[in-house]
Amino acid sequence: MEPRLRVLIVEDEQRLARNIASVLREVANFAVDIATNGEDGLHQARSNPYDLIVLDLMLPKIPGLQVLSTLRGQGIRFPVLILTARGSTEDVVQGLDLGCDDYLTKPFEMAELVARCRALIRRSYDRPDPTIRVSGLEIDPRRRVVQQASKEHILPAMEYRLLEFLAMRAGQVVSKEDILDHLYDFDAERFSNVIEVYISSLRRRFGAELIQTLRGQGYKLLEAAP
C-alpha cells in the first residue's frame, strides 16, 4: 500500500477538518487525529508518532508556521503538508524554508490531497513505488488488495492496516506498542490482545513464516519469502 497509517490534521475550520479526516480514513485507510488550534496541534505532534501532519497556517493560539518551526527545531522529522488559503510565492517559500515537505492551497481536490499524503508517506519510508512488494506479496494501496502468486486477497480494514505497516518496515523489529500507536486514532478503544489476533489471521492467509515473533521485542515481517 501506500504508506502510512497515522495522520494529524491541524485545521481550525472544523467542518473541513472532519471532511478531510473522513476521506483519509475511508479512501487511504489512515488513522486520523484532529487538532483545531496550533497549541493543541503542537502538543499532539510532540506526544504521538505520526507519519504525516496536514497543517493549516492561519490557526488560533499558535500560527501554523510557528508550529512547524518549533517541531523542526525540536528534531521532529515526520512529513508536514501545509494546507492553506495563503498561496503567495512568499508564503510557499517561507513554509519550505521552515521545513515543510509539500504545499497545497485552498480550494483543493480531495483526490489530490490523498495522493500527496500517500506520496509523502512513501517517501518517508524510502519506498517510492506505490505498490509495496515484499516477501512474495504485492500490496496495492489504491485498491487495498494484496496479491500472493496469482491470488488476490481483500483484507478487513484493520488487518490490512497492520500488514501495510509491517510491510513498510519489512526486516525491522516493530514493537507491539508502536503498532498500536499507528493502528488507532487517539480516541479509539484498544485491546491488549488484538495484535495477536490480527497476526494469527495474517499468518493463516499468507504463511506461518511471513511474520516472526521476537519475544519481548515485537514482530518482524520478512523482506523476502522464506
Q: What is the pLDDT of residue 188?
A: 54
Task: Work out the pLDDT band at 177, boundaries 50, 70, 90.
Answer: confident
Cα distances (angstroms) measured from residue 94 to each of 84, 112, 174: 13, 22, 36
Task: Work out the pLDDT band at 143, boundaries 50, 70, 90.
Answer: confident
Give dist(CA 93, CA 79) in Å, integer: 17
pLDDT at 23 over 90: yes
Other C-beta atoms lying within 10 Å of the C-beta of residue 83? 24
pLDDT at 50 over 90: yes
pLDDT at 226 over 80: no
Q: What is the pLDDT of residue 3?
A: 38
Domains of the chain: 6-124 (3.40.50.2300), 132-221 (1.10.10.10)
pLDDT at 54 over 90: yes
Q: What is the pLDDT of residues 184-213, one digit of tens each?
A: 766 555 556 788 999 999 999 999 999 999
- E strands, the chain, are 6-10, 31-35, 52-55, 80-84, 102-105, 132-134, 137-140, 145-148, 151-153, 211-214, 218-221
| Confidence (pTM) | 0.68
Buried b (16+ CB within 10 A) or exposed e, 34-56: bbbbbebbbebbeeeebbbbbbb
Say if CB 4 and CB 30 are below 8 A apart: yes
Q: What is the pLDDT of residue 190?
A: 57
Q: Which of 58-67, 138-147, 207-216 has the lowest mean pLDDT?
A: 138-147
